[in-house]
Amino acid sequence: MKKQINELIEYPEHGVLSKVISKNDKLNITLFCMAAGTDISEHTSTKQGFVYVVEGKGTFNLQGEDIEMIPGVFIYMNENAVHSLKAEENTTFILNLAN
């Protein structure tokens, strides 16, 4: 299956727009488009995974450490890792979770 990520990007006026790119019994891949100024509050996932930043600028807080979200940044997360996000600009990232 082929997807053009740049063609899937669209920003809401406020908040977050998510689109499932692929899902099967081993992986769940979702594209997140966050409007500038949007926060995703602290939470955890029971699954390990990674975030890959496609465009924009923001801050990803992982276990108390701030990581700059800029294009090309790859962030690995263990299961149950506490994390939060803040988009300073319109920001898009891919979230891949192992099932």
pLDDT of residue 3: 84
- Number of structural domains the chain divides into: 1
DSSP labels, 34-71: E-TT-EEEEE--SS-EEEEEEE--EEEEETTEEEEE-T
pLDDT in tens, the chain (99 residues): 788 999 999 999 999 999 999 999 989 999 999 999 999 999 998 999 999 999 999 999 999 999 999 999 999 999 999 999 999 999 999 999 997
* pLDDT for residue 52: 98
Q: What tokens does 83 get?
A: 């994390």
Is 6 within a domain? no
Our measurement of the distance from residue 1's CA atom to the centroid of its chain's CA atoms, rounded to an integer in Å, reads 21
Contact 57, 89 (CB under 8 A): yes
Kindly report the CATH number assigned to the domain that includes residue 48. 2.60.120.10
What domain range is 34 assigned to?
18-98
Note whether residue 11 is domain-resident: no
Give me the pLDDT at residue 2, please: 80
Q: Are strands 83-87 and 39-43 parallel, antiparallel or unpaired?
A: antiparallel
